[in-house]
Structure 1
Amino acid sequence: MSSKPEFVIIPGAWHFPDSFKPTTDLLEKAGYTSHGVTFPSTNASPQVQSFDPDVQAIRTVVDKVLSSGKDVVLVTHSYGGVVGCESLAEYVKTLESGHESGHGKVKRMVFVCAFVLPEGGSLMAALQNKPLPWFILDEKDIVNPANPQEIFYNDISPSVAEAYISKLGTHSYPTFSSQLTVAPWKVIPSTYVLCEKDNAIPIGAQEGMVAAAKAAAPRAFDVVERCDASHSPFISQPEWLAEKLIKAAQ
């Protein structure tokens, strides 16, 4: 049985794990197993009213891998950074208690232009409690992106991007107001992937979150990678990202 860590892929809002396929295919060729998480908040009906269902979906996958004795590299993207962190609340308690679980461990977290928030923070608080200009909201608690090509895939040709845009789902807006209870990047080795052409989370915001994390926990984000990609380097720069993820797993 392979001793390599296994990747748990946590996409951003509106996205499904299949959007990572250009990168996960390369990881598979390198001998790594990846597990994607699909959010209950994506295409929900009725809409979910907190991020708890998404958190539980991630926790279920992570716990399954850990209980098999394998280590995990948790890869989060965008909104996935929020729920990915919260999914490790019980795991962090185990770490802080000093008790060994006898299972695998979370070897590293990788934030791919993802939100890094403190305890008590929420995505909406990070946005100063104002919806972004490209949010399309309706009365049923649904949020959609106004211009996915420009916001998510601005370094991908429109013909390629269209296939990904057609697969985007709706997202339950109330999840953005849920508050974190844990900041696992303080105690778990973490990598941040800065994406300079990101129009969803501008590079200045990404750098600001990393700086704030380091101020709160000097050992946080011991690895910071930088690329000139959009919000979706797993599509536009899969070879580069796969290389960095394999590095994170070693």
Structure 2
Amino acid sequence: MGSPTETPTIIMVQGSFQLPDAYYKLDDALRALGYPVVHPLLPSLTDEEKPGFATKSLTDDALAIRSEVQRLVEQGKKVFVVMHSYGGLVGTEAVTKDLSFDERQPAGLPGGVVHLFYFAAFILPTGQSVLDVFGESPNNDVKPDGRFTIKNAANILYHDLPDAEAQEWESKIINQSYAVQKTKMTNEAFGFVKSTYVVCENDRGPPPMYQEKFGEMAGSKIQKISSGHSPMLSHTAELTRMIDQVVKSVIETGAQV
């Protein structure tokens, strides 16, 4: 079954319009604390030049995450899922009940997903898509070829970074397949895996009041950080401490909190 104090592997599920580079500070800070960190690529943000890119949906992204989670769980690993922004939808869709620690343990199976950690993340119930619930965001730059990106990223995503750094990250913004907007959710991982939701109090993307509602809907323990939308860049040390504290609580209780 593995040691009760075994360090979980952290799966990082990123948000829209960015390369994984935007999460390297957080990934590296967690690794420095001794956590194995896996950051899978999302198909809706990868290989834009290849035919079929614009057909990649949230379902494809969720399958990519599920594949990595399943690989780790089948190795007997405990998995702690960290999700940011759009990644909240992907992780919630990806983690099915058969992969949860609480489902596997009574069956005598090792490993499993022990906790969900959301920050500035979208959460929707089954049967709903982003477009169903929110309509088209005025911040979106929708292109005629099935791609979209975000306008004014420095101001919306990175406003609490120094100007030069915010502009640098804005220059790295990439296109995403628009199909993710239309994908309806089919799974609610928060229904069978306990969760924490960190509200970014100064967010200019999803409003903090919405974030609180997302956390309440998921039944999460809600925490707050005085950051904009990208605390993995602007408040790396504080966010790392928050994740570390939750993981330690999970380890102390043997599974979840």
Please give the per-residue CA displacement for 1:137-159, whole angstroms capped at 9, x wherever unaligned: 11111111011001100100121
CA distance in 2 between counterparts of 1:204 and 1:91 reads 32
Q: Does 2:210 match 1:212?
A: no
CA contact (8 A) 2:70 2:99 kept: no
Q: Distance in 1 between matches of 2:80 and 2:194?
A: 10
Q: Distance in 2 between matches of 1:35 and 1:212?
A: 27
Structure 2 match to 1:217: none
Task: Please give the alpha-carbon distance, in whole angstroms, between the structure 2 residues aligned to 1:144 and 1:59.
Answer: 25
1:66 aligned to 63, 68, 73, which one? Answer: 73
* Paired residue secondary structure (1:106): strand
Q: Report the TM-score when normalising by structure 2.
A: 0.87
Q: Which residue of 2 aligns with 1:182?
A: 187
Distance 2:34 2:103 in 1: 32
Q: Quote the Cα distance in structure 2 between the aligned partners of 1:11 and 1:17.
A: 7
1:119–1:180 CA contact under 8 A, matched in 2: yes
**1:49 shift after superposition:** 4.5
Alignment correspondent of 1:85: 92
1:248 aligns with 2:246: yes
Change (3 A) 1:90 1:208: closer
> 1:152, 1:230 within 8 Å by CA — same for their partners in 2?
yes
Q: CA deviation at 1:225?
A: 1.1
Q: One-letter code of the match for 2:127?
A: G
**91-100 or 110-119: bigger deviation:** 91-100
SS at match of 1:85: helix
Sequence identity, in percent?
A: 27
Distance in 2 of aligned mates of 1:49 and 1:64: 22
Structure 1's unaligned 5+ residue stretches are 214-219
Decide which moves more: 146-155 or 158-167: 158-167
1:110 maps to a residue whose letter is F
Task: Name stretches of at least 5 consecutive residues in structure 2 with no aligned partner.
Answer: 249-257
SS in 1 for 2:55: coil
SS at match of 2:27: helix
Map 1:45-64 to 2 at 5 A.
45=50, 46=52, 47-64=54-71
Q: Secondary structure at the match of 2:164?
A: helix
d(CA) in 1 for partners of 2:86 and 2:198?
14
Paired residue for 1:18?
A: 21
Given residue 35 of structure 1, which amino acid in structure 2 is its aligned partner? V
Query: What's the CA shift for 1:52?
Result: 1.9
The 3-state SS of whatever aligns with 1:41 is helix
Match of 1:167 among 169, 172, 175: 172
Aligned residue number for residue 232 of structure 1: 230
Q: CA deviation at 1:190?
A: 0.1
The CA distance in 2 between the partners of 1:228 and 1:242, in whole Å, is 14
**1:100 offset after TM fit, Å?**
2.8
How far apart are residue 68 of structure 1 and its match? 1.8
1:105 offset after TM fit, Å? 1.3
User: Do residues 7 (structure 1) and 10 (structure 2) align?
Assistant: yes
Q: CA RMSD for the aligned pairs?
A: 2.2
Aligned residue type for 2:20? P
TM-score under structure 1 length normalisation: 0.89
Q: Does 1:191 align with 2:196?
A: yes
CA contact (8 A) 1:9 1:17 kept: no
Of stretches 194-203 and 84-93 in structure 1, the one that deviates more from structure 2 is 84-93
Distance in 1 of aligned mates of 2:98 and 2:193? 10
Aligned partners of 1:176, 1:99: CA distance in 2, in Å?
37
Q: Bigger shift: 84-93 or 55-64?
A: 84-93
Distance 1:136 1:107, change over 3 A: same
Structure 2 match to 1:139? 144
